[in-house]
Amino acid sequence: DQQVKQNSPSLSVQEGRISILNCDYTNSMFDYFLWYKKYPAEGPTFLISISSIKDKNEDGRFTVFLNKSAKHLSLHIVPSQPGDSAVYFCAASNPGGTSYGKLTFGQGTILTVHP
């Protein structure tokens, strides 16, 4: 049972345009969400997070939006750069539960930004 889903395996965008990566979750107990970026032959690195008490969090070119009623979050990258080409993982957790620290990941989306 995939509790966190990224339904788009890949996304291709032109440099300078907006990249939008989507993520859906089914577990209503999740209340903390993160995006990780992964380059080949490296471990995932933290990109941005959002708590369920917010609906938007921004950090430079990266913005995460959370729609709790739809159980949906998205990552916007504006403007996209070739160096953003990587696999992006959405992750969710329930820090208030007994399994604090546990992250449930989506399948990942491969983003390719063309020059």
Print the binding letters for residues 29-48 with another protein: x by CB under 8 A, - otherwise: ---x-x-x----xxxxxx--
In the complex, the smallest distance separating the C-beta of residue 5 from another protein, rounded to whole angstroms, is 9
Residues 95-114 close enough to bind another protein by CB under 8 A: 95-96, 100-108
Q: Which amino acid is at 73?
A: L
Cite the beta strand spans of 28-77 per DSSP E. 32-38, 45-51, 56-59, 62-67, 72-77
One of 13, 80, 89, 113 touching another protein (CB under 8 A): 89
> Is the Cβ of residue 9 or residue 16 nearer to another protein in the bound state?
9
Query: Per rule CB under 8 A, is residue 60 in the interface with another protein?
Result: no
Residue tagged 């890949």 (tokens) = 10
Binding segment toward another protein, per CB under 8 A, in 14-22, 28-36, 54-62, 75-83: 28-36
Q: Say if CB 89 and CB 104 are below 8 A apart.
A: no
> b/e string for 92-109 if b means 16 or more Cβ within 10 A?
bbbeeeeeeeeebbbebb
Whole-angstrom Cα distance, residue 12 to residue 98? 39
Chain contacts with another protein (rule: CB under 8 A):
4, 6, 9, 32, 34, 36, 41-46, 49, 51, 89, 91, 93, 95-96, 100-108
